Amino acid sequence: MKTEMAAIEIRNLTYKYQNAEAPVLQNLNLTIEKGEFALVSGPSGCGKTTLCRCLNGLIPHFYGGELEGEIFVDGLNVRETPPAKLASHVGLIFQNPENQLFSFNVERDVAFGLENLGVPPEEIRRRVDWSLELVGISDLKDRAPWELSGGQQQKAAIACVLAMQPSIIVFDEPTSFLDPLTARGIFDVIAKLRRKLDLTVVVVEHRLEALAAHASRLILMDHGKIILNGEPRKILAEAAERLSLKVGIPSVILLHRRLSKLGILEGLTPLTTSEMAAQLRGVLNRD
Amino acid sequence: MIRLEDVGYVYPGGVEALRGVSLTIGERSSLAIMGRSGAGKTTLIKHLNGLLKPTSGRVTVDGVDTRKATVAKLSRKVGIVFQNPDHQLFAETVEDEVAFPLKNFGFPQDEIKARTEWVLELFNLTRYRKHSPLTLSGGEKKRVAMASIVSWKPKYLVLDEPTLGQDRENKLRLRELFEEFMEEGRTIIMVTHDVEFAAECGFDVALLVDGKVSALGSAREILSNVELLKKASLAAPQMAELFLELEGVEAQPVFTVEEAERLILSRLMSGSGRP
């Protein structure tokens, strides 16, 4: 049964892994609208990865455990929907690309999901080429995944999910294995795809400096709960005040905060170096 | 001292991953190996404990040619934490995982207990001691992998992407550990994309481009050189980028928020604020 609702809707979610003493998610509520770019962050162990696993049905269908509350993704009740069906609605990119690749060459890996869905061969070819091109690894399509570096592997994993053209893509620290400039390229691609294809994007990341400017929303978690949720600029300003050990606050924001306290700057919290540079120019050029 | 002399490595499939790498890594030193994905960084560190033997050239650890020693023997001195913790973790519980190498190296029982406690606490893992490593998140698994190598205090600690999935607090702990290890005369070698972390730790930086060392110097020197960084697909630390944007290539290298604040204040005081 599919009903018209937000892209992701979570109500009173509490989840405990099998044999664990304490729940890792506690009474969590979250609504993400269609077309949003939600960035999720928080200290290691706060439940970010567990939340991602709830969105594509790995929890509870694979991990078991005790789940209370409701999770709706693209209108589907995750608890009642088989993972195979969920796969064409929501794609998940893991922290570790090796968990996602298994074929003898990249092209076959990217085609695999589409073959399973019974997509016609011509369309498969088109979509495989398209997604490899998007992540910039067309030249690697004949290579075996184990011959690739970590970064190249993650790009192949992203291509696999892109090829399925789901309406929601969840990225669990997708740039962990990528060098910074390549990571920026990937984030630009994600942002572009989201606009072009009307995707809903959820990205879990520690490095906020590369992503905060892309996101429509920032969600901060701690101890299995959402502690801050809102417009990235506002949330980061607040987090810089009291959460700087738990969340990697971009250094432009820390600098801005110091200079604001000294009465030197009074503009908005900057999300990028360019925004910060513009404010500083204003002050340094003043006579 | 670890010496790499004109090291070349070709994978069995024919991919040439290292093309004449020469490096000397002294005692009590700290080196960050940086570069784009596929530059050969992981291949290089696999040479440090003999896991890979050079196709050409030679690697010596404290004078011993890695071709002439077993990996088991070299590992006592050179402990490597790989990028992907799933390649390393296998025990039933976090505690067993950490204690395993200590048992293997024949540490006495009370020493095993003390060291296990120490690393579990250090890596913020005490509450997971009875959990299976496989139920943990990526960042937590990474810390288990690090704990199980740090516990035996190798003379050369080699870490592939140690800050992967780590929050600020864990990064600070890692930095303190590095300082402690170096004071004890140990050497830290890390492969990392985390320019901010490399800059704040003040490691030397070897930039790897296409299987060759294209630059070697202090973090300050290398991480402020935009041309070099571009070749290696790295971005300068955010503070350095900010000043590059404000003042162009003539900008003074600035790495930390504190330095940036001082510089801006001094510009304002002296009235020479023109960027």
Residue-wise pLDDT tens digits, A39-85: 999 988 899 989 999 999 999 998 899 999 999 999 999 999 998 88
Examine residue B97 and state whether it is found in any structural domain, yes or no: yes
Q: Considering only CB atoms, which chain B residues are within 8 Å of A176?
A: 138, 161, 164-165
**Total structural domains in chain B?**
1
Q: Considering only CB atoms, which chain A residues are within 8 Å of B166?
A: 44, 206
Residue B275's pLDDT is: 45
CB distance B168–A277 less than 8 Å? Answer: no
Task: State which residue of chain B sits closest to A41, comparing Cα positions.
Answer: B167
Examine residue B259 and state whether it is found in any structural domain, yes or no: no
The one-letter code for the residue type at B232 is A
Kindly list the distances between the CA atom of residue A7 and the CA atoms of A71, A165, B92, in Å, as whole numbers in the listed order.
11, 15, 38
CB distance A283–B273 less than 8 Å? Answer: yes
Residues 49-68 of B with CB under 8 A from A: none
Q: ipTM above 0.85?
A: no
Token output for B115:
């060291």
Most confident of A112-126, B222-236, B259-273: A112-126
Domain of B110 in residue numbering reads as 2-236
- What's the gap in Å between the CA of B108 and the closest CA on chain A? 31
CB distance B237–A252 less than 8 Å? Answer: no
CB distance A264–B131 less than 8 Å? Answer: no
Residue A275's pLDDT is: 94
- The alpha helices in chain B, defined as continuous H runs, are 41-46, 71-77, 94-104, 109-122, 138-150, 168-183, 195-201, 219-222, 226-231, 238-247, 257-270
Among A31, A9, A7, A26, smallest CA distance to A67 is for A26
Examine residue B249 and state whether it is found in any structural domain, yes or no: no
Q: Considering only CB atoms, which chain A residues are within 8 Å of B261?
A: 255, 258-259
Examine residue B63 and state whether it is found in any structural domain, yes or no: yes
Residue A286's pLDDT is: 65
Token output for B1:
């001292």
Q: B80 or A94, which is more confident? A: B80
Optimal mutation site among A51, A96, A143, A152, interface B, most CBs of chain B within 10 A: A96
Contact assessment for residue A39 and residue A31, using Cβ atoms and an 8 Å cutoff: no
CB distance A48–B135 less than 8 Å? Answer: no
Kindly list the distances between the CA atom of residue A173 and the CA atoms of A76, A131, A202, A258, A265, in Å, as whole numbers in the listed order.
25, 20, 10, 29, 33
Residue A221's pLDDT is: 95
Most confident of A93-102, A114-123, A130-139, B16-25: B16-25
pLDDT of B160 higher than 90: yes
Instruction: Output the average pLDDT for chain B.
Output: 91
Task: State which residue of chain A sits closest to B233, comparing Cα positions.
Answer: A181
Q: B136 or A258, which is more confident? A: A258
CB distance A96–B86 less than 8 Å? Answer: yes
Examine residue B264 and state whether it is found in any structural domain, yes or no: no
The percent of residues in chain A predicted with pLDDT above 90, rounded, is 55
CB contact, 8 Å: B259 with chain A? no
Q: Work out the angle at residue B169's Cα, subtended by the Cα atoms of residues B163 and B170, and round it to the nearest 5 degrees.
A: 40
The one-character DSSP state at B253 is P
The percent of residues in chain B predicted with pLDDT above 90, rounded, is 68
pLDDT band at A4 (very low <50, low <70, confident <90, very high): low
CB contact, 8 Å: B1 with chain A? no
Examine residue B184 and state whether it is found in any structural domain, yes or no: yes
Q: Considering only CB atoms, which chain B residues are within 8 Å of A51?
A: none
Among A52, A61, A62, A68, smallest CA distance to A15 is for A68
Residue A195's pLDDT is: 81
Optimal mutation site among B9, B134, B163, B168, interface A, most CBs of chain A within 10 A: B168
pLDDT of A182 higher than 80: no
pLDDT band at A177 (very low <50, low <70, confident <90, very high): confident
**What pLDDT, in 10s, does the model give residues A112-158?**
988 988 899 999 999 999 999 887 889 999 998 888 876 788 889 98
Examine residue B257 and state whether it is found in any structural domain, yes or no: no
End-to-end CA distance of chain B: 45
pLDDT of B164 higher than 90: no
User: How does A271-286 read in b/e, with b if 16+ C-beta sit within 10 Å?
Assistant: bbbebbbebbeebbee
CB distance A246–B124 less than 8 Å? Answer: no
Q: Which of A68-82, B42-56, B59-73, B83-97 has the lowest mean pLDDT?
A: B83-97
**What pLDDT, in 10s, does the model give residues B78-106?**
999 998 888 778 889 999 999 999 999 99
Examine residue B271 and state whether it is found in any structural domain, yes or no: no
Contact assessment for residue A221 and residue A42, using Cβ atoms and an 8 Å cutoff: yes
Q: What is the CATH number of the domain that holds B142?
A: 3.40.50.300
Neighbours of B143 (CB within 10 A): 32
CB distance B193–A244 less than 8 Å? Answer: no
Residue A175's pLDDT is: 80
CB contact, 8 Å: A180 with chain B? yes
Q: Considering only CB atoms, which chain A residues are within 8 Å of B246?
A: 277, 280-281, 284
pLDDT of B273 higher than 50: no
- Cα–Cα distance measured from residue A18 to residue A270, given in angstroms and rounded to the nearest whole number: 43
